[in-house]
Structure 1
């Protein structure tokens, strides 16, 4: 059977090296998955495998004792030789707490065999009602962690000025939210997100609020390098099926982005020629 992707590569339509690049590391998938909120371990494992993701996030605060990290069952059964761990500081409300949890995340990666993994998804969220990230706290924590050698992926409200500041201090990506965490409302601030994408020289990853595969298509189609999804899959009636839909949505969005859409017109244009008509 001929693989469509192989055919496109052979014909030079897409570049075989069209992979996600973060901090010099290449990832085959532009779909990143969270590991929380699933009904059970099997649903989480199956969804991650079906999604063909390259990166999974882990909330470090869920690990009560890093000495027993191997007993955290999902990490124990995931193929970590094929998956890159992205420790996150979810649940941290202050700069100091986020910095401490980031250090625990790096230790966790070392204990699990990823000794060169210095990635951290930075979340500083003091707002317990709407779960919006703290821009000042995020910037301060990011500056400290970058100086300490971390590859920082900060989660932010889609503020173009903050995004640029984070890039300038050395963050390897910026991760603006599509809409509030767990809301499933999709892309609610398209103009600001587009400004961030257009202005950035680092990968922009859309995080939080995506509800279904069409949201992933739109996010990638508009130029984001990747999307991070958790609730949309974990809370779906069939998480495994939604994980596959997200996988396909990301691929579709990337192809559309590379193809470059037609120019829109206010007038209709006939699809058939007006010459050579038979009367």
Structure 2
């Protein structure tokens, strides 16, 4: 399977995985390994390697050998997001940032106006921005106008496990924007959700809650890995069109007809 390219970097896996809410640090490491992910996300508000409390966690993250994608989860203003992104660049030595600017505390929906504004500032400052957004087409187009080269629309609100809540909007989004990588981020609850996303032509998925909160996170990580591989293969193979009527799969031409004896 071909590699995933995000900005100037290439990855063999199409799963990005979060690092929060696991039953233990070891289970987190085992799940990341089982998923075969090359990229892990980290909330700067929760874990700061410059602080003593996060030092051990930071060492564990380094053990994974994965590319680090810091995020601005929890930020509600442009200034908060920009400041946190600049901190991440100094601390983690990366220009990558997963941009999140919360617009509503109830469903954690990103604010489209503030997200676009923050993206413009960060890109101008040399960041490679991966913005968390909704499935709204115009929101995504404005992020492209701001200079984003990767988009991360949600499947459904964070942590809801509702899967791809609006397939029509997502399919429209993928068809209208077919020249940049798009990663489904948030709301996936089971491997079949991820498979469907890849079947629709999305390039990757970002997971956290669905794996970390499963009864067996490591086995669930493996399930998502298999589902993503299956979905990508199905998309590349080209699915057949659905029909309203039945059609025999076994040809009848050239077959003998047996007549009942009277």
Give the TM-score, by structure 1 length.
0.88
Structure-to-structure mapping, 1:101-120, within 5 angstroms: 101-110=84-93, 117-120=94-97
Among 95, 115, 119, which residue is 1:138 paired with? 115
Gaps of 5+ in 1: 1-15, 111-116
Bigger CA drift: 123-132 or 254-263?
123-132
Cα shift at 1:67: 2.5
- CA distance 1:194–1:72, shift in 2 (3 Å): farther
Correspondence for 1:213 = 191
- CA distance 1:172–1:69, shift in 2 (3 Å): farther
Aligned with 1:126: secondary structure? Answer: coil
Structure-to-structure mapping, 1:179-198, within 5 angstroms: 179-198=156-175
2:50–2:91 Cα contact (<8 Å) kept:
no
1:167–1:202 Cα contact (<8 Å) kept:
no
Structure-to-structure mapping, 1:1-279, within 5 angstroms: 18-64=2-48, 66-68=49-51, 71-79=54-62, 82-110=65-93, 117-200=94-177, 201-278=179-256, 279=258
Superposed CA deviations along residues 108-166 of structure 1, whole A, max 9, x for unmatched, are: 222xxxxxx31100000031111111111101101110111100011011110110111
1:174–1:203 Cα contact (<8 Å) kept:
yes
Aligned with 1:57: secondary structure? Answer: strand
Cα shift at 1:41: 0.8
Aligned Cα root-mean-square deviation (Å): 1.6
Moved >6 Å (runs of 4+): none
Counting matched residue pairs gives 256
Cα shift at 1:197: 1.3
Q: Determine the C-alpha separation between the residues in 1 that align with 2:157 and 2:137.
A: 17
- CA distance 1:104–1:257, shift in 2 (3 Å): same
Bigger CA drift: 33-42 or 214-223?
33-42
Q: Determine the C-alpha separation between the residues in 2 that align with 1:196 and 1:108.
A: 35
Cα shift at 1:79: 4.6
1:184–1:209 Cα contact (<8 Å) kept:
yes
1:63–1:69 Cα contact (<8 Å) kept:
no
Cα shift at 1:174: 0.8
